[in-house]
């Protein structure tokens, strides 16, 4: 009866091994996940180039971030030229300590714009420009 027990154990072991192989083969398929970012924030003076993409105050972005008065975008919604760097004012950057008021989404811009005084340059993802491009 001993050979029968060994044969039974081997059959059960091979069945489990085969079942795991079939299960693991099905798990190897690449995941297909699509994550949309939705429409860009509707902000009167543009929005910060990093999450959570809050509206930026008037004076944060320099004039090169606007085409015909329309913000060219930042972050995943950027619609400008490749290798773009534009001026920003760190005085209005919440990552640099700004705690003043921010416009609300959907708010209309004021008729008179604040003068721009920024000296820093960022790319559309919020990274500082290399020294040779400032």
- How does pLDDT run across 99-120, given as a tens digit for each residue? 999 999 999 998 888 889 999 9
Would residue 116 count as lying in a domain? Answer: yes
How many Cα atoms are found within 13 Å in the side-chain-facing hemisphere of 121? 11
CB 47 within 8 A of CB 78: no
Provide the domain limits for residue 70: 63-133
* Domain total in the chain: 1
Tens digit of pLDDT at every position of the chain (134 positions): 455 575 565 565 556 655 555 555 555 555 555 456 789 999 999 999 999 999 999 999 999 999 988 899 999 999 888 889 999 999 999 999 999 999 999 999 988 888 899 999 999 999 999 876 65
Maximum separation of any 2 CA atoms in the chain, in Å: 97
Query: Shortest CA distance to 84 belongs to which of 120, 123, 49, 119?
Result: 123
Would residue 6 count as lying in a domain? Answer: no
| Strand residues in the chain grouped as ranges (E) | 66-67, 70-71, 86-88, 120-122
> What Å distances lie between residue 72 and 48, 49, 109, 111, CA to CA?
12, 11, 16, 19
Would residue 119 count as lying in a domain? Answer: yes
Structure tokens at 85: 């760097």
Would residue 103 count as lying in a domain? Answer: yes
Coil, strand, or helix at residue 23? helix
- Peptide bond just before 72 cis, omega within 30 deg: no
Q: What is the pTM of this model?
A: 0.69
Structure tokens at 71: 């913000």
d(CA 78, CA 73): 4
Would residue 49 count as lying in a domain? Answer: no
């Amino acid at each position: 009866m001993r050979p029968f027990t060994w044969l039974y154990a081997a059959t059960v072991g091979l069945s489990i091994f085969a079942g795991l192989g079939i299960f693991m083969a099905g798990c190897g398929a690449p995941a297909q996940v699509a994550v949309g970012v939705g429409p860009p924030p509707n902000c009167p003076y543009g929005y910060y180039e990093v999450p959570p993409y809050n509206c930026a105050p008037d004076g944060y972005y320099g004039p090169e971030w606007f085409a015909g008065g329309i913000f060219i975008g930042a972050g995943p919604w950027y619609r400008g030229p490749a290798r773009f760097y534009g001026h920003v004012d760190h005085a209005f950057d919440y990552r640099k300590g700004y705690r003043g008021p921010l416009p609300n989404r959907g708010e209309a811009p004021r008729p008179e714009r604040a003068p721009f005084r920024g000296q820093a340059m960022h790319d559309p993802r919020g990274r500082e420009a290399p020294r040779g491009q400032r």
